[in-house]
Amino acid sequence: MSKIVIENELIRLRETTPEDVERVIAIERDEENRRYVYNWPKERHLESIQSEDERHFMVEDQKNGKVVGYIILSSMTSPHDVIEFDRITIDIKGKGYGRQCVRLIKKLCFETYGCHRLWLDVFDDNPKARKLYESEGFVFEGTLRECKKYEDGYRSMHILSMLSQEYGKAENR
């Protein structure tokens, strides 16, 4: 078992190991997920696990120890105290794992990593994820219009963020 980074009653986040990468890729490429998150080759995930600038976590259910998703943070070495909440993919949806992950990531970034600005992008055709982030206190900043080229055309991304002073408010914890 690799190192547990943060946990609560429902879930724990532990460091991803090279042995986890096949599972990560299976989740990432699942039909329900692949449109909403970048699809990396195995080598890129392995690089991320080793990277100073990134954190790669497996999400596990506390009760049965099963992997329910994974998370990537990036720009960890930013001199501006900015962290990108780069990726979250939950395999078993609608059970509250996503919300618990967002809460633990906020806590980890602001309370442990000294983050000032935690930000993310979300495709404009993913209202479920956007709603989750906004309900957790992330602020919509704007839209990068048609910024990504895909086989079926250009796609737009919304930018959302939370600042440390906003995390300080009780309703955003």
Ligand X SMILES: CC(C)(COP(=O)(O)OP(=O)(O)OC[C@H]1O[C@@H](n2cnc3c(N)ncnc32)[C@H](O)[C@@H]1OP(=O)(O)O)[C@@H](O)C(=O)NCCC(=O)NCCS
DSSP state, 164? H
Under the criterion CB under 6 A, does residue 48 sit at the interface with ligand X? no
Query: What is the enclosing helix (H) or strand (E) of 53?
Result: none
Q: Which residue is nearest to ligand X (CB)?
A: 98
Residue closer to ligand X (CB basis): 132 or 159 = 132
Contact 162, 138 (CB under 8 A): yes
Distance CA 69, CA 162 (A): 23
Using the minimum distance from each CB to ligand X, give the nearer residue, 97 or 167. 97
Q: Which residues contact 150 (CB under 8 A, 6 or more apart)?
A: none
What DSSP designation does 78 have? -
Tell me the helices (H) and strands (E) count for the chain, helix number first: 5, 8
x/- site string to ligand X, residues 121 to 160, per CB under 6 A? Answer: -x---x-xx-xx----------------------------
Write down the least CB distance from residue 72 to ligand X, Å: 11
* Of positions 6, 33, 51, 163, contacts ligand X by CB under 6 A: 33
Where is 146: in which H helix or E strand? strand 139-150
Q: How far is the CB of 105 from ligand X (least distance, A)?
A: 11
Contact between 89 and ligand X (CB under 6 A)?
A: yes
Count how many residues are written for the chain: 173
The residue among 29 and 169 lying less far from ligand X, judged by its C-beta, is 29
Q: Is 104 in the site for ligand X (CB under 6 A)?
A: no
Would you tell me which residues interact with ligand X (CB under 6 A)? 33, 36-37, 88-90, 93-99, 122, 126, 128-129, 131-132
